[in-house]
Amino acid sequence: MIKARLIRFLFALHRWMGATLGLLMLLWCITGVVMIWNPYPATTLGDRDYRVEGLAPIISPDRIALPAIPDAATLSYARIEMLAGRPVMSVAWSTGAERASGLYDLATAAKIDQISEADALGVARTYLQRHKLAGQPTLTKLMERDEFVVAGYFNNSRPFYEVPLNDPEQTVLYISSKTGEVSQRTTASLRVWSWLGAIPHWLYFTELRRNTPLWQQVIIWTSLAGCFLTMLGVFVGLRQFRRRHSTGKFASPYRGAKFWHHMIGLVFGVLVLTFSFSGFTSMQPWGWLESGPAAGEAADRYAGKPITWAEARPAFEAQAIALRTVSRERSLVTFTQIEGRPWFIWQSADGSRRRIDANGQPAPFDDAARQRAADLLASDKGPPRFVLMTSADEYYYPGASSSDLPVVRVESSDDTRFYLDPDTGSLRFIADDGAKGFRIWHMALHTFDFLTSPLREILLVLAMLGVTAVCGLGAWMGVKKLARGGKLDNIPKDEKPAA
């Protein structure tokens, strides 16, 4: 009697969870199909960096005026670029536990407290000119966030000037009022497909996503609820698909939509569970699948002792001189440190990069530098190995967060892999146990990225069609039941658990 009541309750629980959660799972299915071909907007898409392409070449003043930063302050970030016709330096530093940052005019050393509307329009005009677009920018408003700049990684750049370019693609730039950086770029097409894909799929609705802890918990617990609902459905489906005394054959007791939900669910139920579970792992819940401390320690060894402003100032002066004397066009200069020494990455609009040393001279990341990097990054349990990788491997591949090729791969004896930019030596990606687990439990299961195109897209679409059918039929039946005012204990005859 107790067993029968328990099974009856599980059947009813599956039906009513499907009625309430099924619509959200259906939304995830439909928007997931859209996202196969339409990513969320960003200033870098594919092999193009739209922001750097939209920067004017750096014109260094005859005499550079560096900002007044305490000599003992340690640098954490710095870059030089043009802003509305003048060279500027964006820099961040720390003095003890205190952190500070600022934007400075390199001709006068004056701090720029806020980007003006005129500056924002100047940035937009330069962007149009560099991209060879026909249009006339108009500044609409100064805003904090919307669905395209709601994520936490935009926080240091808020608020934004929203600037439509009025070009053929109806591009809108989000220009930071703090740094003048083009922080986000959307087009009419990207906006439409984002509202049909990434925004509802990730639940990137402004009022929810702005509260990051709440948003994370919503994703985690709705994904877990989807996993439980799916496992419950598989249990119900298998139990009901049993030999019938009347015919002696295995068959479903259902008819109509319930029959198709039963049959398709038996075939695609595992995939529904796969997508739900891998969506759950995308949040790296409770620290699971995050990189361990060893990866950070290796990165710190590679960076070396923090560089003070007193040590870095002559290197910045040398960059200014080099920028005046080198004829090659450079749109962005970024400070980095490797082996406790200052280096500078010169980047042009065409994407080419060049490493420059503290004296303003080219310093290629050659084999000798690569071997030193391997010695610093790899553990001391065995000889480090490095190789110039020209094709993808199982952890560094197209579709991953960092996938530009070629790349220098360093392997330690504990099988941690470090991927370095072959031109600059910058650390692109670390594949430790956490990253490898994320690659398996999220990326592979959620996107089928272990397959190559077009096989990946074909199988993913077929899987999504089956999963969508399961969720759609379940949600439709649940909504119909609710519309009729169904009760929890009202189980039709054809849904009674098989004996």
pLDDT digits (tens, 9 = 90+) for 307-326: 999 999 999 999 988 888 77
Q: Considering only CA atoms, which of 311, 304, 323, 302 is closest in space to residue 89?
A: 323
pLDDT at 490: 44
The pLDDT of residue 491 is above 70: no
Is 467 domain-assigned? yes
Can you say whether residue 236 is alpha, beta or left, with left for phi > 0 and alpha for psi between -120 and 50 degrees? alpha
Indicate the residue type of 391.
S
pLDDT at 171: 97
pLDDT at 492: 47
For the chain, the maximum distance between any two Cα atoms, rounded to a whole number of angstroms, is 95
Is 148 domain-assigned? no
pLDDT at 206: 96
Is 279 domain-assigned? yes
Q: Per-residue pLDDT tens for 465-482?
A: 999 999 999 989 888 877
For the segment 13-29, the average pLDDT, to the nearest whole number, is: 91
For the segment 167-174, the average pLDDT, to the nearest whole number, is: 96
User: Residue length, the chain?
Assistant: 499
Beta 353-356 vs 417-420: how paired, if at all?
unpaired
For the segment 408-414, the average pLDDT, to the nearest whole number, is: 89
pLDDT at 494: 47
pLDDT at 401: 62
pLDDT at 400: 67
Number of domains in the chain: 1
Q: What percent of the chain has pLDDT over 90?
A: 71
What does the mean pLDDT of the chain come to? 90
Q: Per-residue pLDDT tens for 422-442?
A: 999 999 999 999 999 999 999
Is 67 domain-assigned? no
The pLDDT of residue 217 is above 70: yes
Is 382 domain-assigned? no
Judge contact between 388 and 419, C-beta under 8 A.
Answer: no
pLDDT at 488: 45
The pLDDT of residue 445 is above 70: yes
112: number of Cβ within 10 Å: 20
pLDDT at 486: 59
Is 263 domain-assigned? yes
Can you say whether residue 170 is alpha, beta or left, with left for phi > 0 and alpha for psi between -120 and 50 degrees? left
pTM: 0.91
Side-chain half-sphere CA neighbours of 184 within 13 A: 29
Is 348 domain-assigned? no
Q: Where residue 487 falls among pLDDT bands split at 50, 70, 90?
A: low
State whether the Cα torsion 60-66-71-75 is positive or negative.
Answer: negative
Structural domain including 256 reads 2-37+210-287+456-495
Is 90 domain-assigned? no
For residue 353, the cross-strand partners are: 347
